[in-house]
Amino acid sequence: MAGELAALVQAVSDGDVDRARTLLDADPSLVRHPHGGASPLHYAAIHNQRATVDLLLDRGANVEDLDAEFGAQPVGWANEKGHMAMVRYLHERGTSLTLHSAAAFGLTSEVERLADAQPDRIDEIVGYGAPLHLAALWGHPDVVSALLARGANPLRRNQDGELAMVIANRQALSGGAQTPLVIPERRQEIVDGCRRAAEILRAVTTETV
């Protein structure tokens, strides 16, 4: 099975639908087996291959699968690479979101819905930080504004003791150094978004202090 699974991962990464379909026809269980700690769907997502994403989901892949190293869904892998259309598509295909992941992915309407439903989580530190830190890291000024409007604390520090303003400013000045895997066009979006987010956060942080 190992050889067939590796071949499937290669096919879905390359967007080779015919090859992937042939492999799954021969062994449908391949769709559920991890390779290198992640599902075939993770690999299709990070390589932005919508056709093979659809094939895998239609053959029973679980959009909620978590990889073994980071505990991330396929949508998280797509986000790490900066494939934002794929992020939105995987959400449409049923990926569940937390307030933190919605903030990281820049899904403003979901952030608003979840923050309104779970106001006690708006400043909760999970992993890297609170939703505001994640929006600042990934360059989503609209999300930053939505969170602040709902009472997010701009003076809340993340697990490293940093303010969201500092995170956004460093990303803007460093060319997105903290998000190293993203494709070039997404990197520029992050830099521009972090610059705007830093301005928003600087204003409210000064007011708060």
For residues 168-192, give the mean pLDDT.
97
Please check the confidence at residue 1 and state whether its pLDDT lies above 90: no
Whether pLDDT at 125 is above 50: yes
3 state SS of 133: helix
Share of the chain above pLDDT 90, in %: 96
**Predicted TM-score (pTM) above 0.75:** yes
1-96 falls under which CATH superfamily?
A: Ankyrin repeat-containing domain (1.25.40.20)
For residue range 9-18, list pLDDT tens digits in order: 999 999 999 9
Task: List, by residue range, all CATH 1.25.40.20 domains of the chain.
Answer: 1-96, 97-209
Residues 52/29, Cβ–Cβ less than 8 Å: no
Percentage of residues in the chain having pLDDT higher than 70: 98
**Per this entry, what is the length of the chain?**
209
- CATH of segment(s) 97-209: 1.25.40.20
pLDDT for position 207 = 58
pLDDT at 65: 96
- How large is the average pLDDT for residues 92-106? 97
Q: Strand, coil or helix: what is 177? A: coil
What is d(CA 183, CA 96) in angstroms, rounded to the nearest whole number?
A: 25
